[in-house]
């Protein structure tokens, strides 16, 4: 009995190890950004979208999130998007599309290698935001 349980557990672990985490998809992240974020952030991600004027807190320039050494604040960005670090800029916590970004759990890593559990759409959106950073 114990052997069959250990065998089953080993099989599950080996199967999980043979299937790497889903890669972040910049193309999907671009589409998500254009659909969900550009209204406030602008198509160029500088914070000057058509709805920016009605927000109490003005959107930040998403092209300048990386620090002087070029390190992208992955954990902070994920927490802001998924609501762990809420920003009330338009009468409700950001993001207003929060339920869309739930589910399909995947892990992405911070620049320090720390894994963060998030959803596949958020991982894709973060991958796109990383490509926008100005050197």
CATH no., domain 23-131: 1.10.760
> pTM above the 0.85 mark?
no
Query: Regarding predicted confidence, which is higher, 53 or 62?
Result: 62
C-alpha 120/C-alpha 55 separation (Å) is: 28
Please tell me what DSSP assigns to residue 93.
B
Q: Please give the pLDDT value at position 99.
A: 72
* Residue 132, token pair as written in the block: 């926008």
pLDDT band of 6, cuts 50, 70, 90:
very low
Is the bond preceding residue 95 a cis peptide, omega within 30 degrees? Answer: yes
Spatial separation of the C-alpha atoms in residues 98 and 63, rounded to whole Å? 22
Which of 62-66, 106-110, 128-132 shows the lowest mean pLDDT across its residues?
A: 106-110
Condensed to tens digits (0 to 9), the pLDDT of residues 7-57 reads 444 444 434 433 444 578 999 999 999 999 999 999 999 999 999 988 888
What are the boundaries of each domain within the chain?
Answer: 23-131
Per-residue pLDDT of 94-129, as tens digits, reads 666 767 777 778 999 999 999 999 999 999 999 999
Q: What was the pLDDT predicted at 15? A: 40
């Amino acid at each position: 009995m114990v052997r069959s349980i250990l065998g089953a557990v080993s099989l599950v672990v080996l199967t999980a190890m043979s299937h790497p985490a889903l890669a972040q998809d910049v193309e999907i992240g671009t589409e998500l950004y254009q659909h969900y974020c550009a209204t406030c952030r602008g198509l160029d991600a500088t914070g000057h979208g058509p709805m920016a004027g009605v927000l109490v807190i003005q959107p930040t320039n998403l092209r300048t999130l990386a620090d002087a050494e070029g390190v992208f604040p992955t954990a902070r960005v994920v927490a802001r998007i998924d609501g762990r670090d809420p920003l009330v800029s338009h009468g409700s916590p950001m993001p207003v599309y929060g339920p869309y970004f739930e589910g399909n759990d995947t892990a992405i890593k911070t620049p320090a290698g720390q894994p963060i559990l998030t959803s596949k759409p958020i991982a894709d959106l973060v991958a796109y935001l990383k490509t926008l950073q100005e050197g």
